């Protein structure tokens, strides 16, 4: 690739998403990386480090995205692209030694919690769940007086879906003091809003499906680390366990990445305005958005983030004849512009009641609705919510 480390370090993030991962600037070279569809590559003799060899080891279409994401997260090493966010979760959890202790937020992405719980039940690791926004509770879970210290601290900040904010710097330092590896799921924030490696994390995880690709048309995951030994271990796991990305999906993800700065800027601004209006709505029982001064994570988010993200969560108040959960379902059914669907981070605004998923922790309120704010006009988004609330109150 043509973008030097020196140049990458000098660029602002909104330039880097456009410039990173381009082909060399040579006569008649394409401006965009080509799509390479091949399951194997020419070669004779022993395979050396860096040789492609076989499609499970490497693909030229992965390289530009991996380079760009590594640079965006502030690493000198390329990221690693996976077939899905959960494939990346599986690879990151493979760093926990057999029988080791994993400390994980009680409110995390449901797939991460389910996977960790199943590994715990099978005896592969010990799982301790904790409110990640409660720093003292996390510190106690990392090194309890009567049990083994943690081997890994799993952070998610903001958490999905409760939008809890972890003090990443303090918790990462404490985890390292007991010899634990720190993994941070940065899906909600993206590297434009938060850089966990700079805050002390060892590994950063993304569901590329969400903001990085940004168009709800691919399923991919990624990991980034600045530690060569950790990267080698993660790469080995990807090769052996086969959670590799398709070349076409990788090509689409890089194309989506080019507009990340514009999409994040627009969706964050709209989310902040919608949250400001929703906090005063009579049918909103409570609201979580780190950008609101009243939010319990606001001060911490301001200290470690360059914005507050584009996810807003509300609890819908009961209305005549409907409890909160039923009222939340009715609200979701009444929207026209917002799309009732799971996932987040696409150009379209999505809305869903989270507890409709069986795997969602029961500690998530049954009436909680997660709003993923897209790039539509904010007044149109607000008008659609208003008419849905009006229909609900009739």
Q: Determine the pLDDT at residue 46.
A: 86
- Enumerate long-range contacts of 110-117, CB under 8 Å, 24 or more apart: 110/160, 110/357, 110/359, 110/360, 110/361, 111/85, 111/86, 111/359, 112/86, 112/154, 112/156, 112/185, 113/359, 113/361, 114/359, 115/86, 115/89, 115/90, 116/154
How long, in residues, is the chain? 394
pLDDT of 183 above 80: yes
Q: Determine the pLDDT at residue 236.
A: 97
Q: Determine the pLDDT at residue 23.
A: 93
CATH number at 266 reads: 3.90.1150.10
- Give per-residue pLDDT as tens, 257-283: 999 999 999 999 999 999 999 999 999
Q: Give the mean pLDDT of the chain.
A: 96
Q: Determine the pLDDT at residue 368.
A: 98
Q: Determine the pLDDT at residue 7.
A: 76
Considering the domain architecture, whether residues 45 and 113 belong to the same structural domain is answered as yes
Considering only 59-73, 199-213, 350-364, 368-382, which range has the smallest mean pLDDT?
350-364
- Give per-residue pLDDT as tens, 6-22: 777 789 999 999 999 99
Torsion of CA 173, 177, 178, 179, to 10 degrees: 90
Q: Determine the pLDDT at residue 2.
A: 59
Q: Which residues, in sequence order, are bridge partners of residue 70? A: none
Buried b (16+ CB within 10 A) or exposed e, 127-166: bbbbbbbeeeebbebbbeeeeebbbbbbbbbbbbbbbbbb
Q: Determine the pLDDT at residue 345.
A: 98
- Give per-residue pLDDT as tens, 86-104: 999 999 999 999 999 999 9
- Give per-residue pLDDT as tens, 349-369: 999 999 999 889 898 999 999
Q: Determine the pLDDT at residue 96.
A: 98
**Domain that includes residue 352, residue range:** 261-393
CATH number at 203 reads: 3.40.640.10
Considering the domain architecture, whether residues 249 and 310 belong to the same structural domain is answered as no
Considering the domain architecture, whether residues 182 and 299 belong to the same structural domain is answered as no
Considering the domain architecture, whether residues 380 and 236 belong to the same structural domain is answered as no
Dihedral sign (CA 245, 247, 250, 256): negative
Measured distance between the N- and C-terminal CA atoms of the chain, rounded to whole angstroms: 59
pLDDT of 163 above 90: yes
pLDDT of 4 above 80: no
Domain count, the chain: 2
Considering the domain architecture, whether residues 227 and 303 belong to the same structural domain is answered as no
Considering the domain architecture, whether residues 236 and 295 belong to the same structural domain is answered as no
- Give per-residue pLDDT as tens, 28-65: 999 999 999 999 999 888 888 788 999 999 999 999 99
Considering the domain architecture, whether residues 85 and 209 belong to the same structural domain is answered as yes
Q: What is the mean pLDDT of residues 192-212?
A: 98
Q: Determine the pLDDT at residue 3.
A: 72
pLDDT of 131 above 90: yes
Q: What is the mean pLDDT of residues 196-223?
A: 98
Considering the domain architecture, whether residues 213 and 288 belong to the same structural domain is answered as no
Q: Determine the pLDDT at residue 51.
A: 87
Q: Which of 233, 257, 281 is the last residue of a domain?
A: 257
Q: Which of 204, 229, 257 is the last residue of a domain?
A: 257
Q: Determine the pLDDT at residue 359.
A: 87
Q: Determine the pLDDT at residue 208.
A: 98
Q: Which of 221, 240, 257 is the last residue of a domain?
A: 257
Considering the domain architecture, whether residues 53 and 198 belong to the same structural domain is answered as yes
- Give per-residue pLDDT as tens, 315-344: 999 998 899 999 999 999 999 999 999 999
Active site residues: 56, 109, 185, 210
pLDDT of 1 above 60: no
Considering the domain architecture, whether residues 242 and 316 belong to the same structural domain is answered as no
Torsion of CA 107, 110, 113, 114, to 10 degrees: 150
Q: What is the mean pLDDT of residues 223-239?
A: 98
Considering the domain architecture, whether residues 247 and 329 belong to the same structural domain is answered as no
Q: What percent of the chain has a predicted confidence (pLDDT) above 70?
A: 99
Considering the domain architecture, whether residues 226 and 289 belong to the same structural domain is answered as no
Considering only 131-140, 308-317, 359-368, 369-378, which range has the smallest mean pLDDT?
359-368
Structure tokens at 159: 């958490």
Q: Determine the pLDDT at residue 295.
A: 98
């Amino acid at each position: 690739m043509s973008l030097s480390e020196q140049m990458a370090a000098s660029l602002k993030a909104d330039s880097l998403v456009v410039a990173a991962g381009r082909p060399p600037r040579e006569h008649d070279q394409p401006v965009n990386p080509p799509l390479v569809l091949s399951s194997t590559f020419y070669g004779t003799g022993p395979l050396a480090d860096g040789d492609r060899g076989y499609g499970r080891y490497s693909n030229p279409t992965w390289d530009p995205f991996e380079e760009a994401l590594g640079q965006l997260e502030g690493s000198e090493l390329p990221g690693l692209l996976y077939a899905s966010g959960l494939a990346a979760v599986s690879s990151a959890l493979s760093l926990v030694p057999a029988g080791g202790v994993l400390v994980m937020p009680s409110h995390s992405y449901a797939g991460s919690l389910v996977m960790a719980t199943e590994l715990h039940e099978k005896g592969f690791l010990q799982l301790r769940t904790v409110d990640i926004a409660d720093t003292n509770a996390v510190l106690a879970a990392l090194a309890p007086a009567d049990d083994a210290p943690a081997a890994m601290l799993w952070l998610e900040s903001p958490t999905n879906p409760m939008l809890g904010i972890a003090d990443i710097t303090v918790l990462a330092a404490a985890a390292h003091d007991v010899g634990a590896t720190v993994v941070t799921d940065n899906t909600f924030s993206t590297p434009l809003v938060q850089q966990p490696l700079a805050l002390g994390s060892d590994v950063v995880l993304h569901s590329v499906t969400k903001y990085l690709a940004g168009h709800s048309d691919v399923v991919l995951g990624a990991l980034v680390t600045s530690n060569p030994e950790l990267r080698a271990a993660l790469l080995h796991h990807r090769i052996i366990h086969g959670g590799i990305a398709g070349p076409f999906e990788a090509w689409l993800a890089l194309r989506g990445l080019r507009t990340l700065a514009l999409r994040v800027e627009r969706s964050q601004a709209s989310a902040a305005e919608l949250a400001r209006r929703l906090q005063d709505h009579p049918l909103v029982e409570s609201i979580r958005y780190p950008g609101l001064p009243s939010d319990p994570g606001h001060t911490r988010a301001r200290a470690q983030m360059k914005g507050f993200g584009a996810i807003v969560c509300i609890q819908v108040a009961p209305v005549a004849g409907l409890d909160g959960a039923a009222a939340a379902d009715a609200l979701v059914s009444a929207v026209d512009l917002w799309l009732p669907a799971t996932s987040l981070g696409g150009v379209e605004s999505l809305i869903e009641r989270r507890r409709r998923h069986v795997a969602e922790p029961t500690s998530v309120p049954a009436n909680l609705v997660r709003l993923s704010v897209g790039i539509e006009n904010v007044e149109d988004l607000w008008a659609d919510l208003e008419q849905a609330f009006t229909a609900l109150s009739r």
